[in-house]
Structures are given as structure tokens and as C-alpha cells.
Structure 1
Amino acid sequence: MSSVNVKQREDTLTFLQLFKKSPHFAALLFGQIFSYLGSSITNVIMPIVVLQETKSAAMMGTVMAVYMVPFILLLPFSGVLVDKMNKVKIMLFVDLVRFALILTLATISFLNQLSMTILFIIMFLMGIMESLFQPAHSGVRAKIFTKEIRNAANSLTQVMMQGLKLFGPIIGGVIVSSFSAAWGFGIDAATYIISFLFLLSLRRLSFQSNTINTSPKRSIKQDLLEGIEVIRQQSWLWITILAFSVINIFWGGIMKVLLPWLINVHYQFDPTVFGLVISASGAGGIVCGIIFGLRKQWNKRGILTYISVALSGLSLLLLPAVASIPFIMFLMFLNGACNMFFGLIWETSLQELVPEEKFGRVASLDMLGSFALLPVGYLLTGWAAEGIGEITTLLTFSSIIVLIAVLVLFHKRIRAFN
């Protein structure tokens, strides 16, 4: 057997070997699967509950804002806190708190006592918990996803999450149709306990931050600046974070505002078509994730990343070209695959470049760059659509995504990132 065939065989076995090579991987993966499944169910049920209570679509936006504001504002500080404490213990604490919050929501719903005030309070507290959980979870992934399993571990994780994006909403719809929203919240609460039980096996993990002697006089500002300095020293990190803080403004507006309008209003397709289109995007992500994980190493990652971003923008640019469901599904399949490819390269590069003891801060700053301006994007999209028209806005925004990707490729350090 040639060396090339041996190499290919080793790569194709990577997924199967993950659970043997890393005993902690299964616990982290299945904990995330159950937690994400519960969240997917609630994401479907929540708008229904809000509409039943208020008859106002705008109120759902307010609920999401109440959730996102503490999440975004606390990210820089939660990243510092995560680096000072045991990340697994933070995740365990957050899962218990989220279990209590959602169980409270389920109980109140069963008693028909739910009010918007109670919902606002619970969602605000959930946003706080999310700001702690996400940096901690990123840090634990970086610890467990060692070099030999990194590509396969990241890709399998993302493939599973994409699968839940496809089936979670369906399960949520069945629950709320056949039973009630309260049952959906109850199931979501149970998934946090299941996640907690899986994560318990990780409690003996040790982190470098636990062994570092930190000065009691150090301020949060100094700790935060350390995270910024890590990003500043790596051109790949700061350029990509900056680029996507802008790209996400336009991408988010297209996906959340313009795409539903294009499918349901402009083309006047049946509402089920929108579900098919979103599913096509998820399928593209799954296929790309599997292909990505079959190789232990990808070369010329800087070039490949921004080519995929440009292709993603191009797929959105072509959406108004033909009123064909298969054509639109193909474009969204391509878009999902390109977004997955970027996401996997970005995740693996963070795990390679960022020191373990500073990972929480860097991850939180990365999330801040990704999410902070999304509300601006939604507002900008609405204003632009009213001013110049939805199609013109779609063409303009997608062209900007392509242009940014091409401009970033002119930077030699991006092209040299391998």
C-alpha cells in the first residue's frame, strides 16, 4: 500500500478515533448536543408564546434585545473572569442556573401565570449566563481539542450542531402543536441537567490559569488589555475579527430580514419553501464539516478562508437572479458550506494561536466583534430597504461582503497564513 493511501486511510478513521484518543471529547460533545437541542426547541416556542401574550411581532424583538444586551455588554468582563477561574466549574454553575430559570418558566407556564415582565427578567438573566458560558466553553474546547484531533473534533461538533438546527425546530413545533409551550420549556430545562451530568466528568481538568500567580493589584482593565494584546500581535486574528465585525452587519441583515422577504413576499413561494431554503444551508454546512474533518491539516488557510467568504457573498448576490426553488436551494447550500468552512478554520486557528490562560478573554472579544453590531445591521437593513428597495439593498450588501473578502486577500499576512 502506498504512503498516500495510508495517509488517506488514517484521515478517514479520524472521526472514529476521536472518542478513543480523547476521553473528554464525548462528554463535552454530548453535553453540548443536549444543551443545544433544548435551546433549539425553545427558540421555536418562544416567538409563539410572545405572540400569544402580546399579539405583537415587535415585542419579540424586544425580548431578544433584553437577552442580547447583557450578553454583549458583559462579554469583555466575563472573558477576564473565565480566565481567572476553572472553566468547567463555570459551565457547571451556569447549567444549574439555566436549569432553574427555564424550570421556573415552565412551571409558571403550566400555571398559566406567565407575564411579559417575568419573561423579560428570565431572558435578562439567561443573557448574563450566556456571557459566562460561551467563553468558558470555548476555553474548554481549546483544552480538549488537541492538535492531533483538532480538525476532526471541531468539524464533528459543528456537523452535530448543524443537524440540530435542522431537527430541533421540527421537534419544537411538534411539542407546541401536540402538547403545550410549557412542556417545551420543561424539556429544555431537563436538557441542562443532562448537560450538567455529562460535564461533571470534566471537573478534574486542570487549566494553566489555575497555576499562575496573579497579582491582587491587577485590574480588570489590565487583564482585558492582555487579551487585546494577544489579538493585536497576530495579524490573522485582528484583521479577521475587524473584517467580520463589518461583514456580519450585512450578512445578518440579509439572512434575518431580506431572505425571508425574498422568499415569502417577492417570489411569493409557499412558506414551506423558506424552511427548505434554510435546511439547504444547514445541509451545506454538514457536508462541508464532514469533508473538513477528513483531513488533519489544511494548507493556505488564509487564502482558502477569504475565497470561501467571497463565494458566500456571491451566493447571496445571485439570489434574486432566478425565481427557481432548486437554484435558490443550491445557492444556500453553497452559502452554508462556505460559512462552515470559514467557521472551522477560524475555530482551529484560535485554538492554535491563543495561549490557554488567555483564551477566555480572546474568545469573548471575538464574540463581541461578531455580535455587538448585529442590531445595527438589522436596523440598517430595514432603513436601506425602505429607502432604495429590498432587491437593491440585497445586491449592495452582498457585493460589500465580496468586496471586503477580496480587499482582505490583498494583505500579505492573510495570504501567508497557513
Structure 2
Amino acid sequence: MRSYLGDLGLLRDRRFALLLSARTISMLGSAFAPVALAFGVLNLPGATASTLSVVLAAQSVPLIAFMLVGGVIADRMPRQRVMMAGELLMAAGYAGLALMLLIGWTPLPALAAAAALTGVASSVVYPALTGIIPEVVPADRLQTGNALLGLGANSSRVAGAVLGGGTVVLFGGGWALAVSAAMFAVAAAMIANLRLKPGERAHQEAHSVLADLREGWREFRSRQWIWVVVAQFSLLVMAVQAGHGVLGPLMAKESLGGPAAWSAFLTGEAVGTIAGVLVSLRLRPRRPILVAVLLCLPPALPYVVLGVGAPLWAIVGSAFVLGVCFDVFGVLWQTTMQREVPPESLSRVSSYDVLGSLMFGPVGLLLAGPAATFIGTRESLLGCAAIIVISTLAALLSPGVRNLRAPRPEPRAAAQPDASPL
């Protein structure tokens, strides 16, 4: 208990407390948005599933297309300002969507344009966030900082899914999107108050965007453990997207009683991500990437138990395990990247990481439906489990994954909270 209280002592650092609060509120806004946007669009006169698909595609395509540019921007400019600008763009995009829904002026091109703005904003915020954490958190407390940020984000996802749905039911999608926009604006204001000291970022010479991207790519591919795990994750995410997005809900409908069963599964996973924070606060492996990759094996379990027709309690329990493993993986991965990659390249490497990890996700969604039709839902779920296991075992063949060691912790004096106004 004393160790956990020591971890929580990081909250006394003014700048970290601001960053944690901003990120938690921003994630709460992000959790509000999907339910509000989906039902807000579907409730429009004449709207169909295709209408929603166009709006969601307009949001997701810029996220992927601008991710690398977002990494360049976050490495070139003060990350505090980049994050603040991204949160304000997010607020503007969702405020525009809210206004259109509330006044009843909803041409599809305008909806798509506002949604695209939120996608661009997300592509800027994530690389900047990865890079700003080492600027705020002491090097020997990076893992604690990442874990606490994960706790805030995971709690927001759970709360946002419930509160967002309730707001849509009571007040409508337009007002729910307005609340989401307000949260992003509050997050931007908090980030503006971080007041990072001048000189905490190394001075960067001016280069073209392409030159910066090439330099980031060199940093990315020069570390075997990074590109191997990103390649592994591209296949893992493909399987998870297929299992979570299509096959799992389909199995719940066919044999588990419908939406309530799938909601129980997702709840178990969400609780697992919160419990994973307690593990990640204490776990300090000497070979963090080896442990992180090994933690990718248990996430195959939910698709196995779904595929063999296990009872609901076993399915929910396996979802809990998945949540724990993915949360601990994320903390170990982020912390190791922040320690091993030079600060001046960290956001660009992070953007390559995200782009590579997510690139096959849409493929999983597209293949899941035909696979369920032609080979069966259960068999397809077992196929997802096989992809996860095989890709993980392949990653373990890499010496870079197996041998990378964390620096030994040095004795440290009692932390002094940063209570100054800076």
C-alpha cells in the first residue's frame, strides 16, 4: 500500500496533475462523441446506415492520412502548443456537428467536413501526447506517469460510454456533441496552463516535411524491437477489429442472447483495463518489451472461449484478462519508447507506430463478415485467436524483442512536489 501511495505522490506535481486532468477530460469527450454522433446522424430525416458510414469515414481517413504529418509537427513545435491546438480543433469540429444537428441544417458534405476536422485533430494530439510526457514526468517515474494517465483514460472510456448514452437519450445527439466539444475546450485550457519552461525542447534545424519524415523513419527502423512489434500489432489489431467489431457481436446475437451479453463482455474488458493500471504501477520487468509481447498471448483467449461456446461467465472473465493485458502492454510500450527514442524524434516514431499498428484494422472489419458467412462465426473467431498467437510467437523470435533491457533504477531522494506556479 505504501508503494501505491508513493506512486500517487506524482499527483502533487502541478504540471503532471494538469496534464492528467486535461487528458482525462479529453478522453471523456472522446467517449461521449461516438454514441452522440452515431445516433445524432441516424436520427436525421432520410438518414441511413450509408449516411453514417460517410461521416465516420470522413473522420477516420484524415486520422490515418495526417498521422505522420502530426508527428512532424509535434517534433518541430512546442508540444504543449500542438496539443492545445489539437484539442481546440477537436472542440471546433464537434461544436460544428452539434450546431448543425441542433438547428436542423445538416447537408452531408458539411457533416463530413466537420467530422474530418476532428480526425485531423486526433492525428495531431496523439504524437504530441507521447512526446510531452517525458517533458512533464521525471525519467525515473515515466512508467508511473503512463500508468496514471492510462487510469484516467480508461475510467473516462467507461464513464463516457454510460454518460454519453444517457445524454443522447435524455437530450439528443446534438446536445451530447455540444457537451463533448466543451470538454475538449476545457482540456485545451488546462494544457495552456502547463507552462513548460523554455529550453526543455532541443532546438531543431529547419527541414522539409519529407526530410523530417525520412529522419523519423530511420529512427523507427533502426530499432528492431519497434518495427517487429508494430508489424505484430498490425496483425493483432486486424484480428481484434474483426472479433470485436463483427464476429463477437454476431456470436452474441446467435447464441448468447443478444446485446446484453456483448455489453457484459465489453464491461469486463473495461474493468480489466482499470485493474491493469494497478499491475502496471508495480511491474518493473528487466526486459520490458519481452514481457509486453508475452502479454499479447492471453488476448487470444476471448476468441477461443467464444469459438468453443463457453458459458457467459467464462467469456466475460476472458475479456477482463484481455483488458488487463492490453493496459499493461500499453504502459510498458509507451514507457520504453519514451526512454529509448531521442526526444527530438519521439513524436515522429510514435506516429509511425500508430500508423503501422492500425493499417490492417479496416481489413479485419471487411473480411469478418464474409468469413462468418463462408466458414462460420465460431471458426472465424478461432481464426482470430490463431492470428494473435502466431503473430506474437513470431515477434518473440526477434533478438531485439527478447534482449532489450530497462535501465537499472537509481536510488532517488524523496520527490519534491512541483507546487510552484511556473
Q: TM-score if structure 2 supplies the norm length?
A: 0.90
Matched, 1:392 2:385: no
Query: Of 186, 189, 193, which residue of structure 1 is paired with 2:185?
Result: 193
C-alpha separation in 1, matches of 2:142 and 2:201: 21
Matched, 1:56 2:48: yes
C-alpha separation in 2, matches of 1:157 and 1:360: 17
Equivalent residues of 2:40, 2:173 under 8 A apart: yes
CA drift at 1:270: 4.0
Equivalent residues of 2:36, 2:174 under 8 A apart: no
SS of 2:307's equivalent?
coil
Matched, 1:279 2:271: no
Call closer, same or farther: CA 1:206–1:254 in 2, change over 3 Å: farther
CA drift at 1:188: 1.0
Partner of 2:73 in structure 1?
81
Partner of 1:259 in structure 2?
248
1:351-404 Cα distance to aligned partner (Å, 9 max, x none): 111111111111111111122221122112223222222221111121111111
Q: Which amino acid aligns with 2:312?
A: I
Equivalent residues of 2:90, 2:121 under 8 A apart: yes
In the TM superposition, 1:220-231 aligns within 5 A as: 220-231=209-220
Partner of 1:40 in structure 2?
31
C-alpha separation in 2, matches of 1:101 and 1:307: 39
Query: Of 213, 216, 234, which residue of structure 2 is paired with 1:245?
Result: 234
CA drift at 1:112: 2.0
Partner of 2:95 in structure 1?
103
Call closer, same or farther: CA 1:24–1:73 in 2, change over 3 Å: same
Partner of 2:413 in structure 1?
none
Query: Of 345, 366, 370, which residue of structure 2 is paired with 1:358?
Result: 345
CA drift at 1:411: 2.3
Equivalent residues of 2:55, 2:115 under 8 A apart: yes
Call closer, same or farther: CA 1:56–1:316 in 2, change over 3 Å: same
CA drift at 1:225: 1.4
Query: Of 313, 320, 323, which residue of structure 1 is paired with 2:307?
Result: 320
Q: Which amino acid aligns with 1:167?
A: A
Structure 2's unaligned 5+ residue stretches are: 406-422
Q: Which amino acid aligns with 1:63?
A: V
CA drift at 1:181: 1.6
Q: Which amino acid aligns with 1:414?
A: V
C-alpha separation in 1, matches of 2:319 and 2:52: 26
CA drift at 1:281: 0.4
Partner of 1:5 in structure 2?
none
Query: Of 360, 367, 383, which residue of structure 2 is paired with 1:380?
Result: 367
Partner of 2:144 in structure 1?
152
Equivalent residues of 2:225, 2:398 under 8 A apart: no
C-alpha separation in 2, matches of 1:183 and 1:301: 44
C-alpha separation in 1, matches of 2:137 and 2:233: 24
Q: Which amino acid aligns with 1:283?
A: V
SS of 1:13's equivalent?
helix
Q: Which amino acid aligns with 2:287?
A: K
Matched, 1:71 2:63: yes
Equivalent residues of 1:208, 1:356 under 8 A apart: no
Partner of 1:305 in structure 2?
292
C-alpha separation in 2, matches of 1:245 and 1:46: 27
CA drift at 1:105: 2.2
CA drift at 1:210: 5.2
C-alpha separation in 1, matches of 2:90 and 2:293: 37
Structure 1 consecutive aligned stretches of length 4 or more whose deviation exceeds 6 Å: none
CA drift at 1:306: 2.2
1:227-264 Cα distance to aligned partner (Å, 9 max, x none): 11112221211111111122211121111111111112
Call closer, same or farther: CA 1:207–1:73 in 2, change over 3 Å: farther
Q: Which amino acid aligns with 1:244?
A: F
1:35-91 Cα distance to aligned partner (Å, 9 max, x none): 111121111111112221244234333322111111111111221122111111112
* Greater CA drift, 250-259 or 56-65: 56-65
Partner of 2:155 in structure 1?
163
C-alpha separation in 2, matches of 1:119 and 1:334: 38
Call closer, same or farther: CA 1:161–1:74 in 2, change over 3 Å: same
- RMSD of aligned C-alpha atoms? 1.9
- Give the count of matched residue pairs: 404
Partner of 2:276 in structure 1?
288
CA drift at 1:333: 0.6
* Greater CA drift, 284-293 or 52-61: 52-61
SS of 2:122's equivalent?
helix
Matched, 1:233 2:225: no
Equivalent residues of 1:135, 1:361 under 8 A apart: yes
CA drift at 1:206: 4.1
In the TM superposition, 1:204-219 aligns within 5 A as: 204-206=196-198, 209=201, 211-212=203-204, 214=205, 216=206, 218-219=207-208
Matched, 1:369 2:360: no
Q: Which amino acid aligns with 1:223?
A: D
Q: Which amino acid aligns with 1:26?
A: A
* Greater CA drift, 315-324 or 165-174: 315-324
Equivalent residues of 1:45, 1:184 under 8 A apart: yes
Q: Which amino acid aligns with 1:231?
A: F
**How many percent identity over aligned positions?**
26
Call closer, same or farther: CA 1:150–1:404 in 2, change over 3 Å: same
SS of 1:228's equivalent?
helix
Q: Which amino acid aligns with 1:30?
A: S
Call closer, same or farther: CA 1:306–1:49 in 2, change over 3 Å: same
Call closer, same or farther: CA 1:284–1:136 in 2, change over 3 Å: same
